[in-house]
Amino acid sequence: MNNSIKIGSTIGIIGGGQLGQMLAQSARQSGMKVIILDPQKDCPAALFADGQIVADYSDEAAIRKLVSKADVLTYEFENVDLNILEKIQNKTLLPQGTHLLKITKDRLNEKNFLKNLGLRTAEFSSINTEKELKNALDEFGYPSYLKTCEGGYDGKNQMQLKSTSDFDKATTILQKGPCILEKKVIFKMECSVMVGRNVDGEVSVFPVSENIHRNQILHESIVPARISEKLQNEAQLIARKIAEALNLCGILGIEMFIGEDDNVYVNELAPRPHNSGHYSIEACNYSQFDIHNRAICNWKMPEIKLLKPVVMVNVLGQHLEKVKALVPHNEEYHFHDYWKTEARVDRKMGHVTILTNDIEKTLNDIEKTNIWD
């Protein structure tokens, strides 16, 4: 651990959203200073940072200024400017490097990486023209998903093709650039695993989170996932395998499906903290944010322990006021407010974590509030 970053040093974070906010909170609690770069002066992370550079993410001069003020650099979202990072990565300590971003920024690169690693994924094909789309649909059948190779999250820049009648609508996705078509995996559960790895190659693997989505936005995470111990172990082994193959530094979110055939399919990689890992703040001995910061600082990596079963539920714009009214009367609710300036429908405004001895009862109690209908 000779090349570790000392306590009291400064972490520079590109991005000031809720992930940056929670990274900053974790860093400050462990004795580090934080400076962020974000175009929004009153962004969520600004409340917890020692300083902020107000500039666009593609502003090279601003990123160089961030470099000059930080001892180690990281990012809280994947759509950062790769060209700028490649220019500066030799001039500062960017332990995450750019290789991971190159893979995860492009869905086709990501799927090919996973396939070459011998892991199961949905069947997929590169799509650039209507003819290629038609040929792939003839092979895969319906339903299938057409997605742009770059950009998009929470269901943006993608669509499900359920029948031939959806073909014309799919051309609007094709117009946005190179695409990928994925055959739908028939699954009984969506899940994810967070994994962290430091410069020295030490790995911390989190438990498997069962994820429930509504309108393609994460609604609830349930930990431990309601699957067999064998499947949990397999998912964690896959996470470790991916981390080591990527030479990962930092935290990585790995989204998976548990197929109806009881196989684990890897869906997507997120090279940053992930919404489905927020439960770890209260439910584990180290949060995903603690692990990311430890990893990029090359501190010793701990074994992750789940202290208690947990349910995390997202708070979107339409839920916020009702949740705020409920929290004072529910001692089991750990409420995290992201302090965003505007609450909009389907915008992530916070989350609630509930530690529980009875997951089924907790899920029923959440439903009974009628907040998340």
CATH 3.30.1490.20 segments of the chain = 123-183
Q: Give this prediction's pTM.
A: 0.95
Strand segments, DSSP code E, in 54-208 are 72-75, 124-127, 144-148, 158-161, 179-183, 187-197, 203-205
105 CB-side CA count, 13 A: 12
Pick the range with the lowest mean pLDDT from 167-181, 306-320, 355-369: 167-181
Question: What backbone torsions phi and psi does residue 322 show, to the nearest 5 degrees?
Answer: -65, -40
CATH number, span 123-183: 3.30.1490.20
At 1, the pLDDT band (50, 70, 90 cuts) reads low
Fold exhibited by the domain 187-368: D-amino Acid Aminotransferase; Chain A, domain 1 (3.30.470)
Kindly report, residue by residue over 239-253, the tens digit of the pLDDT. Answer: 999 999 999 999 999
Please give the average per-residue pLDDT across 161-173, as a whole number.
90
Which residues partner with 268 through β-bridges? 255
The span from the CA of 82 to the CA of 84, in Å, is 5
DSSP 3-state of 352: strand
Q: Inform me whether the pLDDT recorded for 306 exceeds 90.
A: yes
Strand segments, DSSP code E, in 45-178 are 51-53, 72-75, 124-127, 144-148, 158-161
Report the pLDDT value the prediction gives residue 154, as an integer from 0 to 100. Answer: 58
Report the pLDDT value the prediction gives residue 328, as an integer from 0 to 100. Answer: 97
CATH 3.30.470.20 segments of the chain = 187-368
Report the pLDDT value the prediction gives residue 168, as an integer from 0 to 100. Answer: 86
Residue 31 and residue 7 in contact, taking contact as beta carbons nearer than 8 Å: yes
Q: Inform me whether the pLDDT recorded for 91 exceeds 60.
A: no
The span from the CA of 123 to the CA of 132, in Å, is 15
Q: Inform me whether the pLDDT recorded for 93 exceeds 90.
A: no
Report the pLDDT value the prediction gives residue 233, as an integer from 0 to 100. Answer: 98
Q: Inform me whether the pLDDT recorded for 2 exceeds 70.
A: no
CATH number, span 10-94: 3.40.50.20
Query: 51 is written with which tokens?
Result: 């300083």
Which residues partner with 300 through β-bridges? none
Which residues partner with 195 through β-bridges? 205, 252
Element (H, E) at 240: helix 229-245
Residues in the chain: 373
b/e code 77-113 from CB counts within 10 Å (16+ = b): bbebbeebbeeebeebbbbbbbebbebbbbbbebbbb
The span from the CA of 280 to the CA of 353, in Å, is 9
Residues with Cβ within 8 Å of residue 262, at least 6 apart in sequence: 231
Query: What is the sign of the dihedral through the CA atoms of 336, 340, 345 and 348?
Result: negative
The span from the CA of 150 to the CA of 103, in Å, is 11
CATH 3.40.50.20 segments of the chain = 10-94
The span from the CA of 304 to the CA of 286, in Å, is 7
Q: Inform me whether the pLDDT recorded for 153 exceeds 80.
A: no
